[in-house]
Amino acid sequence: MRVAEKTGKTVEEAINACLDELGVEREKAKIEILEEPTKRGIFGIFGTTPAKVRVSYEVCPGELACDFLEKICNAMGVKAEISYTRKGSNWFVDITGEELGILIGRRGDTLEALQYITNLAVSKEMAERVRIIIDIEGYRQRREETLVRLAKRLSEKVKRTGHRVVLEPMNPHERRIIHTALQDDNRISTFSEGEEPNRKVVISLKRTKEIS
């Protein structure tokens, strides 16, 4: 929550000063009048006590993320529509438009970096930690489907040859997709090896003890 307290000759002046500082529209803010302006001295000839107000604004993580991403897109000269939805404790941001490959990068590397810095930027403004998940033109869904098919195909190869398969380096999210896709196969074992950012998933046959 963002809070501002200001004084002014009038209540309205103090409120407007708070709204300007917070950068929020009046209808979205909670306004508390702490002190009304009052005249001091006989007939008010010695001046007045200024009005004092407190304005608070409940920050929306989705809006913060969209504003941050809009600035990045504008700086890059990328035209895009940015929207958000909330599911449980997660905030999902969807970016749509034309020629957005520059925001996705090779195998989603740029997308992951974009998501990381957006989470950092939003967290600075929030009292508690939130999770922002960004997708661009449905890339994440398509990538997940591709990885699941890859996992199934390579697991069959491992069963056929008996030799383990080491996949290319992947980020934690993509490695989790591989592990999840094969977790119910009682003949296959998966694990990760190596150090970030070159950590890889290994698909191998389960040992006899693991199967039994």
Note the pLDDT tens digit of each residue in 148-207. 999 999 999 999 999 999 999 998 989 999 999 999 999 999 999 999 989 999 999 998
The DSSP code for 26 is: G
Cα→Cα distances 26→12, 30, 35, 60, Å: 11, 8, 19, 15
Place of tokens 């600075």: 124
Confidence of residue 46 (pLDDT cuts 50, 70, 90): low
The pLDDT score that the predictor gives to residue 31 is 92
Q: Could you tell me where the beta strands, DSSP code E, fall in the chain?
A: 2-8, 30-35, 38-39, 48-49, 51-57, 81-87, 90-96, 131-136, 165-166, 188-193, 200-205
Topology adopted by domain 141-211? Ribosomal Protein S8; Chain: A, domain 1 (3.30.1370)
Q: What is the pTM of this model?
A: 0.68
Q: Chain-wide mean pLDDT for the chain?
A: 90
Neighbour tally for 163: CB within 10 Å: 10
The pLDDT score that the predictor gives to residue 94 is 97
Q: Percentage of residues in the chain with pLDDT exceeding 70?
A: 93
Residue 180 to residue 194: CA distance in whole angstroms: 19
Mean pLDDT along residues 111-129: 89
In degrees, to the nearest 5, what angle opens at C-alpha 72 toward C-alphas 71 and 74? 65
Chain centroid, CA 146 distance in Å: 23
Mean pLDDT along residues 83-109: 93
Confidence of residue 208 (pLDDT cuts 50, 70, 90): low
Going from N- to C-terminal start, the domains of the chain cover: 2-57, 61-137, 141-211
The pLDDT score that the predictor gives to residue 212 is 43
Q: Strand 165-166 and strand 90-96: pairing?
A: unpaired
In CATH, which of 3.40.50.300, 3.30.300.20, 3.40.50.1860, 3.40.50.150 is domain 61-137?
Answer: 3.30.300.20
The DSSP code for 84 is: E
CB 6 within 8 A of CB 56: no
Chain centroid, CA 17 distance in Å: 30
